[in-house]
């Protein structure tokens, strides 16, 4: 097994539960289902948001969320991160005094899920980011990375109904995070990168989810030059990737993939004809890939 810095633990009893039911033939069955629980995030005493999450790595999720919402600066001094499992709360404390009362009011006024303000937060600084033009991705790395990720024990393979994101260097996956929302999985990696001081310029970001505008914006804000997915693209995601100079690779299954942005970074060093198709057991949750 690849030596990940962080990877899923499908054996963690907090993350799945066994549930009985019946299958399409009316036979009694028992299956694993993914758990989700609320996590309320505070920044310096101010309540920010309550997220639904599987509950692992709350500290990384909290920091990544604040970073991607521009409530935390990359150079902020984080003085403490306090997590209380009993009351499902995480508090991030910084040396800089913060007050986002007006911003949070605007979120409430926008809509129930606050998409208008959230999108504005994500777009801040997007046009000012410059991605490493010298970064490269070899097709041999893509094939090896895909195989490793797809065969790693995970909640996705155990129970489904979950998204996975991986930070990789060349063909080596470093950080594998999962959650019920792809934005949570991304934020966990963003938080880990900030707290552990991991440089983004030579990294590859791999996701099981769609290549949407949100995924592109967050990857660019994290300054990662290459984004890869098992799933497909949205038109706006492609447009934003081209605007930012992000290499966007989708529909990566078996020996097939499509590159719709940043083609100049791709080095075709592997012969697809020498590769087999992806085993069906790694596609058994395929209907959920585009969620």
Which sequence spans correspond to the domains of the chain?
37-128, 137-288
Mean pLDDT estimate for the chain: 88
Residue-level pLDDT at 22: 96
Q: Which residue has the tokens 């984080």?
A: 78
89 contact partners, CB below 8 Å, separation of at least 6 = 39, 40, 41, 42, 83
Confidence of residue 113 (pLDDT cuts 50, 70, 90): very low
Residue-level pLDDT at 107: 54
Is residue 64 within 8 A of residue 222, CB to CB? The reply is: no
- pLDDT average, residue stretch 67-91: 94
- What backbone phi and psi angles, to 5 degrees, belong to 164? -125, 145
Residue-level pLDDT at 115: 43
H/E element, 61: helix 58-68
- Sheet arrangement for strand 247-253: 172-179, 163-169, 203-207, 226-229, 247-253, 256-261
- May I ask the CATH architecture of the domain 37-128? Roll (3.10)
Helices (H), the chain: 58-68, 101-110, 115-123, 139-151, 155-158, 182-195, 213-221, 235-244
- Rounded Cα gap, residues 187 and 175, in angstroms: 12
Residue 289 has pLDDT above 80, yes or no: no
Strand duo 37-43 + 89-94: pairing: parallel
Right CATH for 137-288 from 3.40.50.300, 3.70.10.10, 3.30.499.10, 3.40.140.10: 3.40.140.10
Is residue 77 within 8 A of residue 87, CB to CB? The reply is: no
Percent of the chain with pLDDT over 90: 72
Residue-level pLDDT at 106: 55
Q: Which two tokens stand for residue 279?
A: 């085993």
């Amino acid at each position: 097994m690849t030596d990940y810095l962080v990877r899923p633990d499908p054996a963690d009893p907090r993350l799945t539960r066994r549930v009985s039911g019946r299958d399409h033939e009316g036979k009694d069955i028992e299956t694993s289902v993914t758990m989700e629980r609320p996590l309320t995030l505070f920044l310096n005493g101010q309540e920010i948001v309550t997220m639904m999450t599987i509950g692992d790595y709350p500290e990384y999720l909290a920091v990544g969320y604040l970073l991607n919402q521009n409530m935390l600066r990359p150079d902020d001094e984080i003085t403490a991160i306090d997590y209380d499992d009993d009351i499902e709360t995480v508090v991030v404390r910084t040396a800089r005094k913060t007050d986002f009362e007006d911003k949070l009011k605007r979120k409430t006024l926008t809509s129930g899920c606050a998409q208008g303000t959230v999108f504005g937060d994500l777009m801040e600084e997007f046009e000012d980011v410059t991605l490493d033009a010298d970064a490269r991705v070899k097709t041999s790395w893509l094939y090896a990375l895909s195989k490793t990720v797809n065969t790693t024990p995970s909640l996705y393979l155990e129970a489904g109904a979950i998204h996975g994101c991986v930070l990789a260097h060349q063909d080596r996956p470093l950080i594998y995070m999962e959650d019920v929302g792809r934005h949570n999985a991304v934020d966990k990696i963003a938080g880990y990168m900030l707290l552990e001081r991991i440089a983004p310029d030579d990294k590859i970001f791999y996701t099981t989810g769609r290549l949407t505008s949100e995924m592109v914006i967050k990857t660019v804000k994290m300054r990662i030059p290459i984004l890869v997915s098992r799933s497909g693209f949205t038109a706006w995601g492609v447009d934003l990737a081209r605007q930012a100079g992000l290499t966007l690779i989708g529909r990566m299954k078996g020996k097939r993939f499509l590159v719709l942005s940043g083609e100049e970074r791709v080095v075709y060093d592997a012969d697809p004809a020498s590769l087999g198709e992806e085993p069906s057991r790694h596609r058994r949750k395929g209907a959920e890939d585009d969620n």
